[in-house]
């Protein structure tokens, strides 16, 4: 495939988004397997496998970081300053090239910000002084007990990733990542036929 040089920036951003979506898919597969394991353990069934909470948290981190990378490529978000104009021009061109898909979960910053900006969220939540116990990584069929603050949450029943009170649906996120991958493939074909400039 030959891509004209003026389309090279668009191609690189599309390939970067595609790679991040592949990371979402691979971490999601491991998290689904971990969810099955933890539900079996809750029912007293030893499946002979091991999915430690620290490994689950690592896959959750990969999934959310990859989702954030896609979001930063395709949406302006709350960026300000001298780079905001370039980011706005680029993200508008890319999302248009992809056919303006509805990606509400990928566009949402709530859980990703909670997960990445842990110091600020700790300040906000702990200053309320409503917690009496904590869990670094909560992986259980049952929700954390009232009054327990969980730094990282993986809900194996609803397949949700959480931090404090914030939750994100892993299933919805993966569906949107699949949609992005499909549209990236189509968009790359478009780059063969017309010029798509990302920058003024």
Per-residue pLDDT tens digits of the chain, which is 200 residues long: 677 889 999 999 999 999 999 999 999 999 999 999 999 999 999 999 999 999 999 999 999 889 989 998 998 777 777 788 888 999 999 999 999 999 999 888 665 666 667 777 778 777 777 777 888 899 999 988 888 888 889 999 999 998 767 788 999 999 999 999 999 999 999 999 999 999 87
Contacts of 193 (CB under 8 A, 6+ apart): none
Name the DSSP class of 79: -
pLDDT value, residue 9: 94
Q: How many domains does the chain have?
A: 1
92 phi and psi angles, rounded to 5 deg: -65, -45
Full residue range of the structural domain in which residue 82 is found: 5-109+170-191
- Residue 197 inside a domain? The answer is no
The pTM score is 0.88
- Residue 147 inside a domain? The answer is no
- Residue 139 inside a domain? The answer is no
* Residue showing tokens 């969810």: 35
Distance CA 91, CA 135 (A): 38
Neighbouring C-alpha atoms within 13 Å toward the C-beta of 12: 9
Distance CA 138, CA 10 (A): 40
pLDDT value, residue 31: 97
- Residue 162 inside a domain? The answer is no
Contacts of 146 (CB under 8 A, 6+ apart): none
- Residue 60 inside a domain? The answer is yes
* Residue showing tokens 């980011």: 87
pLDDT value, residue 112: 63
pLDDT value, residue 57: 94
Shortest CA distance to 86 belongs to which of 176, 193, 180, 197? Answer: 197
Name the DSSP class of 144: P
Distance CA 20, CA 173 (A): 12
Name the DSSP class of 48: S
- Residue 133 inside a domain? The answer is no
- Residue 77 inside a domain? The answer is yes
- Residue 86 inside a domain? The answer is yes
Distance CA 135, CA 81 (A): 38
């Amino acid at each position: 495939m030959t891509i004209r040089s003026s389309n090279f920036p668009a191609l690189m951003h599309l390939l970067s988004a595609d790679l991040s979506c592949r990371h979402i898919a691979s971490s999601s597969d491991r998290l689904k397997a971990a969810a099955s394991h933890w539900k079996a353990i809750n029912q007293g069934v030893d499946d002979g496998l091991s999915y430690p909470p620290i490994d689950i948290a690592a896959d959750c981190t990969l999934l959310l970081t990859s989702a954030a990378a896609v979001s930063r490529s395709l949406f302006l978000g709350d960026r300000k300053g001298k780079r905001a104009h370039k980011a706005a021009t680029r993200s508008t061109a890319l999302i248009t090239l992809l056919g303006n898909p509805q990606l509400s979960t990928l566009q949402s910053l709530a859980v990703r910000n909670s997960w990445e900006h842990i110091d600020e969220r700790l300040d906000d939540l702990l200053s309320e002084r409503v917690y009496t116990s904590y869990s670094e990584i909560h992986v259980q069929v049952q929700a954390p007990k009232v009054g327990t603050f969980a730094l990282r949450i993986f809900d194996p029943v609803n397949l949700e990733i959480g931090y404090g009170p914030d939750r994100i649906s892993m299933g919805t996120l993966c569906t949107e990542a699949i949609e992005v991958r499909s549209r990236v493939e189509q968009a790359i074909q478009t780059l063969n036929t017309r010029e798509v400039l990302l920058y003024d």
